[in-house]
A and B are shown apart, each in its own frame.
Chain A
């Protein structure tokens, strides 16, 4: 046996690149070929927004930006506080079109069940049985309000790992579809607004200072008009409202869409289906208490079929726990407290 294989590894040889590679690169450029490369973390706040969005979607519900062991790094650490960027899975490679929803689009919501409040979660990642990261606490607050005369829920988040942005999401009380989402970086350099109509979204992104840019885009929304949409850019925190209105029962299943950023070229398409299915019942104990829960399988229809699970309390249908299991790690988000603010 090799006595010290680590020494051998350090001296492991690598071949030289082919002599024609340089020419091939320059010819590709000259021929008009372009490649989107992974965004470095230093690219700034806009990137961190996407990071956070992807991360919290994973926290709250999904954790299925990709699949397989290759993405363990991303998933394992989405909940571990920092760094937030799921480097591999969310790199800026050419987009792959998402698949179609698996189930019928959700249409039978009971909006009268929805209550506001503040839900506080805590996340942690365990790798190979060892606690490898915690996110601290993450609070979602939903309160009843009106937006341009329309009854709405105002959803805000308090996320200690990403304190450099404030956001507000207005969700229609009637349809649980988004009405307006706005986010500002604390340094006032980045301002994003998504204004939703019945069937489209108009997005403005303004970045001032270094890398100044002003993006405008209007895009038609996919899916049926009565189907709730989850605003990925808003960390999908509206899911906590949607789950309250779902007609959960044994065997229930349904699909919806997540809405991301429309103008920002990136790996995550603007619209991705998300599929829910009740797979069982569990008694779950978290810091907020012990809850009898529906267990939901959640699959996000983009680049993979990795499944995460949600435990939703049977009485109020709050998200009590979210979990993603990889090959050698588990990420989970548990409810630590709730305060009603209706």
Chain B
């Protein structure tokens, strides 16, 4: 089960959704306050760039009033938003790869040192994750970092749960190999 965003109560969510659908900026702002940080973290982990992650979250919320017209309120708003965000992030990642832009490994990893960057092993781990093909990386991020189930990953990525499992195994194998090579 994926980690849940801190979200408003259901009745409050429903009210915010109704108002946001109508383009109420206050409601949109409240939704951002409730879900923005969680969605940004997800986008960042998927896409590996602060700027791109901000653009993803920006686009999600700018498009949200219209998109909410297609939200059927069957499930949790947070889960729905996370799915939408993941898709937008992956779209952006795909476009970026087409343009052969420098990703995390060339930019943010240097600009945004984290505790894990302090050792070469962690840097190697980060590089190994970044070097994964998008299809493998996205499964790895969603499963290992975001704690989604394979069924949830399947829904987000439009793949089967079996494929998700296969990709995770392949991603883990590649990362492990990279780490061993750098021992």
- A93 part of interface (Cβ distance < 8 Å): yes
- B16 part of interface (Cβ distance < 8 Å): no
Instruction: Tell me how far the C-beta of B6 lies from the nearest C-beta in chain A, rounded to whole angstroms.
Output: 15
Given A40-B83, A69-B135, A81-B160, A12 and B145 contact (CB-CB distance below 8 Å): yes
Which size class do A's interface residues fall under? 35 or more
Q: Is the interface of A mostly helix, strand, loop or mixed?
A: loop
Kindly name the residue among A14, A83, A132 whose own CB sees the greatest number of chain B CB atoms within 10 A.
A14
A86→B163 contact, CB < 8 A: no
A35→B59 contact, CB < 8 A: yes
A66→B160 contact, CB < 8 A: no
User: From A24, which residue of chain B is reached at the shortest CB distance?
Assistant: B58
- A339 part of interface (Cβ distance < 8 Å): no
Q: How far does the alpha carbon of A175 sit from the alpha carbon of B114 in the complex, in Å?
A: 64
A30 CB contacts on chain B under 8 angstroms:
25
B144 CB contacts on chain A under 8 angstroms:
6, 9-10
- A36 part of interface (Cβ distance < 8 Å): yes
- B134 part of interface (Cβ distance < 8 Å): yes
User: From B65, which residue of chain A is reached at the shortest CB distance?
Assistant: A29
Given A9-B140, A80-B163, A127-B166, A34 and B88 contact (CB-CB distance below 8 Å): no
Chain B: interface residue total (CB-CB under 8 A): 78
A2→B179 contact, CB < 8 A: yes
- A225 part of interface (Cβ distance < 8 Å): no
Given A9-B144, A21-B54, A327-B133, A73 and B37 contact (CB-CB distance below 8 Å): no
Q: How far does the alpha carbon of A210 sit from the alpha carbon of B71 in the complex, in Å?
A: 12
A73→B133 contact, CB < 8 A: no
B72→A5 contact, CB < 8 A: no
- A209 part of interface (Cβ distance < 8 Å): no
Given A13-B115, A83-B154, A127-B167, A67 and B145 contact (CB-CB distance below 8 Å): no
Given A29-B62, A34-B66, A328-B170, A42 and B157 contact (CB-CB distance below 8 Å): no
- B112 part of interface (Cβ distance < 8 Å): yes
Given A13-B115, A88-B94, A132-B163, A29 and B25 contact (CB-CB distance below 8 Å): yes
User: From A36, which residue of chain B is reached at the shortest CB distance?
Assistant: B63
Given A5-B176, A10-B144, A73-B163, A41 and B58 contact (CB-CB distance below 8 Å): no
B25 CB contacts on chain A under 8 angstroms:
26, 29-30
Contact among B23, B53, B125 for A5, CB-based, below 8 A? B125
B121→A66 contact, CB < 8 A: no
- B7 part of interface (Cβ distance < 8 Å): no
- A15 part of interface (Cβ distance < 8 Å): yes
- B93 part of interface (Cβ distance < 8 Å): yes
B154 CB contacts on chain A under 8 angstroms:
83
Q: Give B65-103 as 1s and 0s: 1 = Cβ < 8 Å from A's Cβ atoms.
A: 111011110110000100110011011011001100000
Q: Give A319-338 as 1s and 0s: 1 = Cβ < 8 Å from B's Cβ atoms.
A: 00000000110000000000
Contact among B58, B71, B98, B162 for A40, CB-based, below 8 A? B71
Residues 1-60 (chain A) with a chain B CB within 8 angstroms: 1-2, 5-6, 8-10, 12-18, 21-22, 24-26, 28-30, 33-44
B155 CB contacts on chain A under 8 angstroms:
41, 83
- B60 part of interface (Cβ distance < 8 Å): yes
- A247 part of interface (Cβ distance < 8 Å): no
Kindly name the residue among B75, B84, B155, B159 whose own CB sees the greatest number of chain A CB atoms within 10 A.
B159
Q: How far does the alpha carbon of A92 sit from the alpha carbon of B113 in the complex, in Å?
A: 34
Given A28-B62, A29-B25, A21 and B84 contact (CB-CB distance below 8 Å): no
B135 CB contacts on chain A under 8 angstroms:
69-70, 72-73, 76, 327-328
B166→A128 contact, CB < 8 A: yes
A83 CB contacts on chain B under 8 angstroms:
154-155, 158-160
A40→B80 contact, CB < 8 A: yes
A14→B160 contact, CB < 8 A: no
- A87 part of interface (Cβ distance < 8 Å): yes
Q: How far does the alpha carbon of A144 sit from the alpha carbon of B129 in the complex, in Å?
A: 56
Instruction: Tell me how far the C-beta of A227 lies from the nearest C-beta in chain B, rounded to whole angstroms.
Output: 29
B62→A91 contact, CB < 8 A: no
- B131 part of interface (Cβ distance < 8 Å): no
B67→A37 contact, CB < 8 A: yes
B71 CB contacts on chain A under 8 angstroms:
40, 42
Contact residues of A with B, CB < 8 Å?
A: 1-2, 5-6, 8-10, 12-18, 21-22, 24-26, 28-30, 33-44, 66-74, 76-77, 80-89, 91, 93, 125, 127-128, 130, 132-133, 210-211, 304, 327-328
- Contacts A37-B59, A87-B87 known; 10 new A-B pairs at CB < 8 A: A14-B40, A37-B88, A42-B71, A43-B70, A71-B94, A77-B163, A87-B158, A88-B91, A130-B166, A210-B72
